[in-house]
Each structure stands twice: as C-alpha cells, then as structure tokens.
Amino acid sequence: MKTPPLSKEDIEHALTHLPGWAWNCDALVKTLEFRDFREAMGFMLKAGAEADEMNHHPEWTNVYNKVVVRLSTHDAGGKVTAKDVELAGRMEKTLIK
C-alpha cells in the first residue's frame, strides 16, 4: 500500500516539533554533530534500531563525528510522509540522555 505524501503545510507544522530539521529536496534533513566517532556511531545504532522497528530506513552518512540524515518515503515517490516525521521524532528521542 502506498503511503500518501504530506502537504507543504503538514510538513511545515511537523518541523515546528523537530528542532534542527529542515525540508530540503523532498526530504526531511538534519546534520548532527557529536563529540567523537564513538558517540556518532552510538546514535546510529540507537536510531537504526528505531528505524528497523518501523521498517522505514533512513538515508544517512557518517564522517567521524557528523551524521547527516535524509528521510523520505520511496513508495510515496520519494516525498515526505507521516513515516518520515515519526522516524525523525524517534531519532530526536534517542538524543535525549
């Protein structure tokens, strides 16, 4: 079943609850900077478990202490859906210590 993309207004509203996230090129995007590589990888492990639980996997890169996350939904034509907003929210919760 295809997931419907969110409207511009829905995405803009969601971003008010997702600090540091932006809507760029049909995706939710955030660059995170950590103290070191170990902390960056710790985030990726925790966030990866959340993504796997949702069966909604991020496009992300890691270079040393930086992780760049890009969320969009393939079955919605690469647009932002409620799944992306939910995963971004779950990722934010992994940052809370």
pTM of structure: 0.94
**Segment 53-83, tens digit of pLDDT:** 999 999 999 999 999 999 999 999 999 999 9
**Segment 13-32, tens digit of pLDDT:** 999 999 999 999 999 999 99
Q: Which strands, in side-by-side order, build the sheet including 22-24?
A: 22-24, 27-33, 66-71, 59-63
What domains can you pick out in the chain, each with its CATH number? Answer: 22-95 (3.30.1360.20)
- pLDDT bin (cut points 50, 70, 90) of residue 3 is confident
Provide CB contacts within 8 A for 78, sequence distance 6+: 26, 27, 72
